[in-house]
């Protein structure tokens, strides 16, 4: 588990960003992620696969820390207890991750950071994917139609009732929510990762 010693030399407080295995707005979420300074990225196992399927690279600044889902206990989440994060963003969030978060399940890295952010009262933004009965979404080989189930839509609605949690449903609203956090914290975006 991360402790004070592991965090020596790491600028803080930081943004935490959990990336899950959703193709829906995966690339757009990465673009917004790349503009954030002092960032830690938590990558679900499915996200690590999906990023390859969409032929994407993280392409992040050199000081960004990337945590992959390799431990049963989700060891990196320990940092939440040391006040390392001022904000958590879960984007894009699969229907699987949203359902688990709503049910209070924390059995992998993405659901654990969401749970620990809640337990440490870190404001969280979740970009839910399943938000309408019919949606156009980007598959690796092009656009396809999907029909989220009633349970998927219900989970998104239930997540909106969680404390300290802002649920967004469009890229524009994700950008606006991130911008609002930057403004509240008086932090400037980064304009280039090179």
Ligand X SMILES: Cc1cc2nc3c(=O)[nH]c(=O)nc-3n(C[C@H](O)[C@H](O)[C@H](O)COP(=O)(O)O)c2cc1C
Binding residues (CB under 6 A) for ligand X: these are: 20-24, 44, 46-47, 50, 53, 94-97, 108, 110, 129, 137, 140
SS3 150: helix
CB of 5 to ligand X, least distance (A): 30
27 to each of 31, 55, 58, how far by Cα in Å?
Answer: 6, 10, 10
CB of 10 to ligand X, least distance (A): 25
CB of 46 to ligand X, least distance (A): 3
SS3 70: coil
Q: For ligand X, which is the closer residue by CB, 72 or 186?
A: 72
Which residue number places its CB atom closest to ligand X?
21
Tell me how many degrees the CA angle 51-62-17 measures, rounded to the nearest 5. Answer: 50
Strand-pairing partners, residue 19, are: 43
CB of 111 to ligand X, least distance (A): 7
Tell me how many degrees the CA angle 182-130-170 measures, rounded to the nearest 5. Answer: 35
Q: For ligand X, which is the closer residue by CB, 64 or 91?
A: 91
Where do we find the tokens 């956090």?
Answer: 181
CB of 72 to ligand X, least distance (A): 14
Tell me how many degrees the CA angle 41-12-80 measures, rounded to the nearest 5. Answer: 60
Q: For ligand X, which is the closer residue by CB, 38 or 96?
A: 96
Q: For ligand X, which is the closer residue by CB, 120 or 137?
A: 137
Q: For ligand X, which is the closer residue by CB, 87 or 111?
A: 111
């Amino acid at each position: 588990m991360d402790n004070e010693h592991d965090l020596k030399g790491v600028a803080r407080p930081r943004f935490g960003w959990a990336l899950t295995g959703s193709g829906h707005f995966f690339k757009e979420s990465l673009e917004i992620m790349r503009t954030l300074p002092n960032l830690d990225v938590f990558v679900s196992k499915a996200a690590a696969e999906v990023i390859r399927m969409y032929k994407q690279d993280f392409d992040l600044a050199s000081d960004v820390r990337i945590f992959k889902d390799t431990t049963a206990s989700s060891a990196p989440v320990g940092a939440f207890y040391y006040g390392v994060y001022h904000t958590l963003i879960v984007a894009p969030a699969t229907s699987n991750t949203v359902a688990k978060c709503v049910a209070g399940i924390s059995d992998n890295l993405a659901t654990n950071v969401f749970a620990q952010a809640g337990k440490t009262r870190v404001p969280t933004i979740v970009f839910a994917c399943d938000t309408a009965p019919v949606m156009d979404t980007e598959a690796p080989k092009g656009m396809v139609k999907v029909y989220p189930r009633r349970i998927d839509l219900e989970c998104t609605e239930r997540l909106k009732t969680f404390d300290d949690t802002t649920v967004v449903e469009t890229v524009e609203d994700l950008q606006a929510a991130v911008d609002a956090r930057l403004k509240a914290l008086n932090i400037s975006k980064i304009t280039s990762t090179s």
